[in-house]
Amino acid sequence: MPLARLVAVLFFLCCTTVARADAVDDALAKFFDDKFPRTEQAINELAATGAANAPAILDALGDNRLLIDQADHIIVYKTTGDDLINAKTGEKLDGVDAGAFKKVRINNALRSAIEAAMGALTLANPDPQKRAGAAEAVFETRDASALKALEAQLSHESDPHVAELLRQARAAIVVLDSKTPTADRVAAVATLKARGDQDSQSLIDQVANQSDDPAVKAAALDAKAAIKAHLAWLSVLQNLIYGISAASVLLLAAIGLAITFGVMGVINMAHGEMVMLGAYTTFVVQSALPPSLLQWSLAVALPLAFLVSAIVGVAIERLVIRFLYGRPLETLLATWGVSLILQQAVRSLFGANNRQVSAPNFMSGSFDWAGLQITTGRLWIVALAILVFVALQLALRATPFGLRMRAVTQNRRMAAAMGISTGRIDMLAFALGSGVAGVAGVALSQIDNVSPNLGQGYIIDSFMVVVLGGVGNLWGTLLGATVLGVANKLLEPVIGAVLGKILLLVFIILFIQKRPRGLFALKGRAVEA
Q: What is the DSSP string of 76-130?
A: EEE-TTS-EEETTT-PEEPS--GGG-EEPP--HHHHHHHHHHHHHHHTT-SSHHH
Confidence of residue 119 (pLDDT cuts 50, 70, 90): low
Residues near 140 by Cβ (< 8 Å), separated by ≥ 6? 199
CA distances from 58 to 22, 31, 46, 488 (A): 18, 11, 8, 49
Tens digits of per-residue pLDDT, 68-111?
A: 887 777 888 888 777 888 877 778 887 777 777 888 888 888 88
Bridge pairing between strands 372-375 and 74-78: unpaired
Tens digits of per-residue pLDDT, 283-321?
A: 999 988 887 788 888 889 999 999 999 999 999 989 998
Distance (Å, rounded) from C-alpha 325 to C-alpha 413? 14
Secondary-structure percent of the chain, ordered helix, strand, coil, rounded to 5:
75, 5, 20
Residue 523: per-residue pLDDT = 55
Contact 414, 407 (CB under 8 A): yes
Q: Which of 308, 339, 323, 314 is nearest to 260 (CA)?
A: 314
Q: Which of 114, 112, 111, 102 is nearest to 43 (CA)?
A: 114
Confidence of residue 19 (pLDDT cuts 50, 70, 90): very low
Distance (Å, rounded) from C-alpha 178 to C-alpha 303? 65
Q: How many helices (H) and strands (E) does the chain have?
A: 21, 7
Select, from the ranges 98-102, 162-166, 371-375, 492-496, the one with the highest average predicted confidence (pLDDT): 162-166
Three-state secondary structure of 377-390: HHHHHHHHHHHHHH
Contact 509, 458 (CB under 8 A): no
Tens digits of per-residue pLDDT, 167-191?
A: 888 888 888 888 888 888 889 889 8
> Is residue 524's pLDDT more than 70?
no
